[in-house]
Amino acid sequence: MARRDGAILWINEKPAETRSLSRADLRLTASGDGYDEAWLQTLLYRNPEVLPIEQIEPGFGKLIPLCRELGLTFGAGRSGSLDNIFITTEGRLVLVEAKLWRNPEARRTVVAQAMEYAAAVFRLNYEELQSAVLHARSSEPGLPSSMYELVKQHQETLDEPEFVDAVNRNLKRGRAIVAVVGDGIREDLAPLAELLQTHAGHRFTFALVELAIYETPQPGIRVVAPSVLAQTALIERGVVLIEDGSDGTKRIAIRESPVTPAQSSRERSFGIGEDEFYEILGQKEPKAPALLKSFLAKLDGLGVRAELQGGLNLKHTAPKGRDLNLGTINKVGYFDSAPSTWWERTDIGRKYNETLATLTGGLVRDLRDGQSTLKTTDGKTPRLLDLLPKHEDAWIAAIDRYIRDAFEAARED
């Protein structure tokens, strides 16, 4: 993983001056006007936006700091503290170990340490995590009474039962971003991150993030340059569950995912948000997740991608302007084809909707501004299972035709 970064420049036009910035000397201690890991933890806690989460997991959400030094127990009388933990209003978690790379032992053990902390967090339920978070924040002014109260400050309409359920699901499934963040992550860590990818049952995304810190000509002002050095992708290989034992203890169990004949031979990676989507969809339509994953794997050959924005959107890069949108599937299994007629694509969208109506025995309903959408014969929104698996091949052909029509229309313009 050779680095080829260019110089970081400080440009001052008045007077005209350009300087190449030098990396801060992080070998010094805080008492020597340098840095320590507490300084790095505080930087992350006060400025969570410095973490390039959107690059790691697009659409993950805005990070809300829960606490620093989250106390955890590992069994056999052992304990420790996770450096930083963040959450989103959707109940998604980010677990961070902050390291300044000063000794070989830290480099060899940091990934294993981060995984041990993550496993300890995944053994908690909502109430246990909340208790640990509030204890870690006990010395701060204005202590909230609950995690929900803390997060609600960022979204007033947040529904408490839904938030609690989402956090519990993610803890039980071991679903989070686990990140090691440092000032200059050594190259020998990258192969360790790659090894994590081959481990069956991972529901988390693991990332190595570098925060390069530079001194500037102005005293007291520093530049922080974040970058993702390596990350895993979440692949459907198995499921991590936190199970209650007969003796009242908990353990992490890996259940292998069943392989069905409809499953594509090509494994498709996806993010944490999409994984949550499949779990909720499966609660409403048990057969739908496997059918949809197989369908999306086949659409990948057409350049169609799944993009989570509230629902799961079927997107394709457009010849010009906004992306093509072949429709949206929501969390309870309904399919909305109206986006195919957005952005002045009313004609090719109607043709696409008419094809789908012929397949399902439904109808096409006119909307405003020439847009249209697929409906059932009784005027309702169709379900995903109205199209899959019976009409899968024909639906793929209709999508292929839509894409071709869009590119042909762009050439004519």
DSSP 212-266: EEEE-SSTT-EEEEEEEEEE--EESSEEEEEEEPTTS-EEEEEEEPPP-TTS-SS
pLDDT given for residue 263 in this prediction: 41
Asked if residue 251 is part of any domain, the answer here is no
Task: Round the average pLDDT of the chain to a whole number and report it.
Answer: 84
Q: In 3D, which of 24, 19, 1 has the Cα closest to residue 9?
A: 19
State yes or no: pLDDT of 100 exceeds 80.
no
CB under 8 A, 24+ apart: contacts of 358-365: 359/387, 359/391, 359/394, 359/395, 359/398, 360/386, 360/387, 360/391, 362/386
Helix (H) or strand (E) holding 375: strand 372-375
Which residues span the domain enclosing 151?
A: 9-239
Residues 274 and 327 in one domain: yes
Residues 263 and 233 in one domain: no
Residues 263 and 216 in one domain: no
Q: Is 279 helix (H, G, I), strand (E, B) or coil?
A: helix
Residues 175 and 31 in one domain: yes
Residues 267 and 396 in one domain: yes
State yes or no: pLDDT of 254 exceeds 50.
no
- What integer is the mean pLDDT of 256-279? 64
For 52-72, give one letter per residue: b (16+ CB within 10 A) or e.
Answer: bbeebbeebbebbbbbbbbeb
State yes or no: pLDDT of 219 exceeds 60.
yes
Residues 98 and 39 in one domain: yes
4 exposure class (CB count in 10 Å sphere: 0-12, 13-18, 19+): exposed
Question: Comparing 209-213, 302-306, 310-314, 385-389, which segment has the lowest mean pLDDT?
Answer: 209-213
Assess contact for 282 and 272: CB atoms under 8 A.
no
Residues 177 and 299 in one domain: no
- Report the domain count for the chain: 2
